[in-house]
């Protein structure tokens, strides 16, 4: 845990450093007439200082107490399931314009339900169909918000 | 004052039109559902439903979005009482005595007192707003850029200090939010910053994508990580005839509701997660002044009435700094600020005069909304509770699909969805590593205002930083900031001194 916290501190320090480096490429001006880079430069420096303070605090602690995150409540295999869930959602975004909204919504729901362990075939088809149809009617027909039509042209 | 009351009646005229009543009802119902369902909180709920309001006039849109906010706060209490699962953080305190009451077969009176307490506190808060907002707006007209900058700095520090986690971590998140807020057009010189030659970043980072990602997607992913069993086995749904509290219940709760309303209203005016602090403060107050403090935690009605009243009053008074100063002090009001600006309403001291219809219409609608919630929640408790029977394995994909679709509808942009997913992954990791997302979101929304105030202040003072300390109001905010920053150090020193004294006592 302590190693992870140290990595976090270093990453945040580097984020601050990156902001400073990019800000220096912009006009800084003076405090009287600040350029576009001055404010982000100040923020980058503050982030670096805070990250240093965080790292110093970690190094000064005699022993690691662990952290108060939520990892303790995770169940076995949950991380893989979560990654699949997230990956399926990302895949749906890739297919959004190609397949169109109704088909993507149907396939995404089908995939996500399956990933989370729904096995009954009737539900696996009915639920995605109803969701895709319902959301299509709400957004496209009722709210008149255009969504990608894709292959099926709906 | 007479003028304010007249304006309030005009507001009631606006809020009571059939269209606005319908949107108020829709907002309250949607908010209650958002509050009840795990996987969505008020922040993601409001952000997701912003696109639904695009076709509406600003007043109807804000009435609906506000309805979602206080509806969600109310819905959260229902799950706290029936299931011991707080729908959102402000309902954690309600779990303590609310669930114990439900276990004793008094879920009905607990829910009824929640509704009555929320309605009473909401009513008092509306009157508080009517009398406080106009003079505060008048005073805010005297605020210059240094005062605004110091106030925003103070807001960040207070929010970072009271969110419960590490102060340094929260401050780092706030700074990252401010950095993200600088992406796009420089508000003063008009130059582009951190756009990396992409057209997508020219207009800055879409705050709705960040909000839904950090609070919606991250919540869904965190839920996938948890056991997915259904929750229905633990639900203690009362029958309709058991919903009415006894006269004794009402008598016992009366004082707690009034005290809760006062505490909540006061806490809502200051920076920080007001409903959370208000419910905690109210609970501690009730326990301290009670004749039977040891009974708290075993199902005492004051332990439900006070915090619920405080929660509702804080939610509503939090609109005062938003409307009057144009500065949100908590993430839900930050999202509402974004929604107001999308609809062309810029909150601030001039809002009362420039958009009286929106200002007074929304205030009046809050009163109506509370009444709707009172009517809606009591008879429909069994229905809302039955929604909890939807298995998580069905609910989570639905929320994910709604997030993706909702995000696309904001700008019809696939890039927004990618940004939302990226923020979702970041938010998930932040949860795992105990980083609070609230300071980041708030900083993102008010960052550009803060930068403008900072640069204008220095322009006015010819680059002299003394301008922040020479003006009394600004100085007060900075002193408060310093005190809040020093508070953890003082606590640490006191603890060390106490431990040292104990050690000496032990060895002596």
Q: What is the ipTM of this complex?
A: 0.91
In a domain, B507, yes or no: no
Strand pairing partners for A34? A29
Among B221, B222, B204, CA closest to B416: B204
In a domain, B482, yes or no: yes
For B390: left if phi > 0, alpha if psi spans -120 to 50, otherwise beta; the answer is beta
A43 neighbourhood in chain B, CB within 8 Å: 175, 178-179, 182
In a domain, B417, yes or no: yes
pLDDT at B38: 65
C-alpha torsion sign, points A132, A137, A141, A145: negative
Phi and psi, residue A4, nearest 5°: -60, -40
Please, which residues 83-142 of chain A have a Cβ atom closer than 8 Å to chain B? 85-86, 89-90, 92-93, 96-97, 101, 105, 108-109, 112-113, 116-118, 127, 131, 135, 139
- For chain A, give the mean pLDDT: 87
Instruction: Give the pLDDT band of residue A22 (cuts 50, 70, 90).
Output: very high
Nearest CB to B393; choose among A12, A33, A116:
A116
Inter-residue contact B388 to B83 (CB < 8 Å): yes
Among B342, B348, B343, CA closest to B320: B348
Name the residue with tokens 């009513």. Answer: B123
Chain A nearest C-alpha distance from B420 (Å) = 11
Nearest CB to B417; choose among A26, A74, A93:
A93
Verify whether the Cβ–Cβ distance A39 to B404 is below 8 Å.
no
Verify whether the Cβ–Cβ distance B404 to A92 is below 8 Å.
yes
Structure tokens at B177: 């939010």
Q: How far apart are CA B226 and CA B428, in angstroms?
A: 13
Q: How far apart are CA B381 and CA B77, in angstroms?
A: 11
Q: How far is CA B132 from CA B58, B126, B219, B266, B476, in A?
A: 23, 10, 36, 11, 20
Q: Identify the closest residue of chain A to B424 by CA–CA distance.
A: A86
Strand pairing partners for B123? none
Verify whether the Cβ–Cβ distance A79 to B182 is below 8 Å.
no
pLDDT at B178: 94
In a domain, B205, yes or no: yes
Structure tokens at B461: 């003072």
Verify whether the Cβ–Cβ distance B176 to A40 is below 8 Å.
no
Verify whether the Cβ–Cβ distance B401 to A108 is below 8 Å.
yes
In a domain, B36, yes or no: yes
pLDDT at A49: 97
Q: How far is CA B466 from CA B179, B282, B483, B484, in A?
A: 25, 40, 19, 21
In a domain, B506, yes or no: no
Verify whether the Cβ–Cβ distance A92 to B397 is below 8 Å.
no
Inter-residue contact B429 to A8 (CB < 8 Å): no
A15 interfacial to chain B (CB closer than 8 Å): yes
- Chain center to CA of B364: 19
Nearest CB to A32; choose among B393, B398, B462:
B462
Test mutation, B225, B429, B430, B468, chain A, max A CBs within 10 A: B225
pLDDT digits (tens), chain B, 508 positions? 677 888 888 989 999 999 999 999 999 999 888 888 766 778 888 888 887 887 788 899 999 999 998 888 888 888 788 877 776 777 788 888 888 888 888 888 888 888 888 889 988 888 888 888 888 888 888 889 999 999 888 888 877 776 657 889 989 999 999 999 999 999 888 899 999 989 999 989 988 899 889 988 998 898 888 766 554 455 556 665 666 778 888 888 999 999 999 999 988 887 767 787 888 889 988 988 888 888 888 889 999 999 999 998 988 888 888 888 888 887 888 888 888 888 888 888 888 888 888 888 988 898 898 888 888 777 777 777 777 777 888 888 998 998 999 889 888 899 999 999 999 999 999 989 989 888 898 889 888 889 999 999 999 999 899 999 999 999 999 998 888 888 777 777 777 777 777 666 655 4
Q: Identify the closest residue of chain A to B179 by CA–CA distance.
A: A40
Q: How far apart are CA B224 and CA B142, in angstroms?
A: 50
Inter-residue contact B387 to B30 (CB < 8 Å): no
Q: How far apart are CA A135 and CA B298, in angstroms?
A: 44
Q: Identify the closest residue of chain B to A52 by CA–CA distance.
A: B168
A8 neighbourhood in chain B, CB within 8 Å: 433
- Chain center to CA of A17: 23
The runs of H, that is alpha helices, within A25-100 are 38-60, 78-99
pLDDT at A75: 66
> What's the structural domain count of chain B?
1
Test mutation, A3, A5, A34, chain B, max B CBs within 10 A: A34
Chain A nearest C-alpha distance from B372 (Å) = 24
Nearest CB to A96; choose among B172, B414, B433:
B414
Chain A nearest C-alpha distance from B292 (Å) = 34
Structure tokens at B252: 């016992």
The stretch A69-97 carries a mean pLDDT of 82
Q: Is the model's pLDDT at A67 over the cut of 70? A: no
Give the structural domain span for B478: 2-501
pLDDT at B508: 46
Q: How far apart are CA B476 and CA B15, in angstroms?
A: 38
Nearest CB to A36; choose among B176, B189, B459:
B189
Q: How far apart are CA A76 and CA A74, in angstroms?
A: 7
In a domain, B508, yes or no: no
In a domain, B150, yes or no: yes
């Amino acid at each position: 845990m302590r190693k992870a916290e140290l990595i976090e501190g270093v990453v945040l320090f580097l984020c601050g450093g990156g902001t400073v480096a990019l800000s220096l490429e912009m006009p800084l001006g003076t405090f009287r007439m600040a350029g576009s880079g001055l404010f982000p430069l100040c923020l980058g420096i503050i982030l670096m200082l805070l990250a240093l303070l965080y790292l110093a605090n970690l190094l000064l602690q005699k022993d690691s107490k662990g952290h108060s995150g939520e990892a303790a409540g995770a169940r076995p295999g949950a991380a893989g399931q979560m990654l699949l869930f997230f990956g399926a959602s990302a895949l749906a975004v890739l297919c959004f314009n190609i397949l169109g909204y109704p088909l993507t919504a149907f396939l995404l729901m089908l995939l996500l339900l399956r990933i989370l362990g729904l096995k009954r075939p009737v539900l696996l088809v009915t639920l995605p169909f109803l969701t895709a149809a319902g959301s299509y009617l709400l957004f496209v027909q009722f709210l008149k918000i255009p969504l990608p039509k894709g292959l099926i042209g709906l | 004052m007479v003028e304010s009351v007249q304006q309030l009646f005009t507001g009631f005229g606006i809020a009571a039109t059939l269209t606005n009543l319908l949107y108020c009802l829709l907002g309250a119902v949607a908010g209650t559902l958002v509050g009840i369902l795990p996987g969505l909180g008020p922040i993601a709920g409001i952000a997701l439903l912003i696109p639904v309001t695009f076709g509406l006039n600003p007043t109807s849109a804000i009435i609906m979005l506000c309805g979602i906010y206080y509806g969600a706060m109310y819905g959260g209490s229902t799950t706290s009482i029936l299931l011991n699962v707080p729908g959102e953080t402000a309902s954690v305190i309600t779990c303590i005595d609310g669930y114990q009451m439900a276990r004793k077969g008094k879920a009905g009176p607990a829910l009824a007192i929640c509704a009555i307490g929320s309605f009473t506190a909401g009513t008092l808060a509306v009157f508080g707003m009517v009398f406080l907002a106009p003079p505060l707006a008048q005073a805010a007209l005297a605020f210059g850029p240094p005062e605004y900058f110091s106030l925003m700095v103070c807001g960040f520090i207070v929010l970072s200090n009271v969110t419960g986690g590490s102060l340094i971590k929260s401050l780092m998140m706030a700074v990252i939010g401010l950095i993200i807020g600088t992406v796009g057009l420089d508000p003063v010189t008009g130059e582009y910053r951190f756009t990396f030659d992409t057209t997508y970043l020219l207009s800055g980072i879409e705050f709705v994508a960040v909000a839904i990602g950090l609070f919606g997607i991250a919540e869904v992913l965190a839920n996938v990580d948890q056991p997915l069993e259904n929750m229905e086995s633990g639900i203690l749904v009362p029958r309709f005839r058991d919903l009415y509290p006894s006269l004794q219940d009402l008598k016992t709760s009366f004082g707690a509701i009034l005290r809760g309303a006062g505490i909540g209203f006061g806490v809502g005016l200051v920076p920080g997660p007001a409903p959370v602090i208000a419910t905690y403060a109210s609970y501690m107050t009730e326990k301290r002044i009670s004749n039977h403090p040891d009974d708290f935690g075993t199902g005492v009605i004051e332990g439900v009435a006070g915090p619920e009243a405080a929660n509702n009053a804080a939610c509503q008074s939090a609109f005062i700094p938003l409307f009057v100063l144009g500065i949100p002090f908590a993430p839900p009001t930050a999202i509402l600020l974004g929604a107001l600006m999308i609809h062309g309403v810029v909150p601030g001291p001039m809002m009362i005069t420039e958009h009286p219809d929106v200002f007074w219409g929304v205030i009046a609608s809050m009163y109506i909304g509370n009444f709707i919630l009172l009517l809606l929640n009591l008879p429909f408790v069994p229905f809302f509770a039955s929604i909890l029977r939807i298995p998580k394995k069905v609910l989570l994909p639905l929320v994910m699909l709604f997030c993706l679709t909702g995000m696309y509808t904001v700008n019809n942009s696939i890039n927004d969805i990618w940004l939302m997913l990226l923020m979702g992954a970041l938010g998930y990791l932040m949860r795992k590593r105990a980083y609070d997302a609230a300071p980041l979101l708030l900083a993102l929304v008010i960052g550009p205002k803060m930068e403008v105030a900072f640069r204008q202040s220095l322009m006015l003072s010819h680059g002299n930083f003394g301008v922040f300390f020479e003006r009394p109001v600004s100085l007060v905010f900075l002193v408060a900031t310093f005190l809040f920053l020093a508070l953890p150090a003082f606590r640490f020193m006191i603890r060390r001194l106490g431990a040292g004294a104990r050690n000496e006592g032990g060895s002596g």
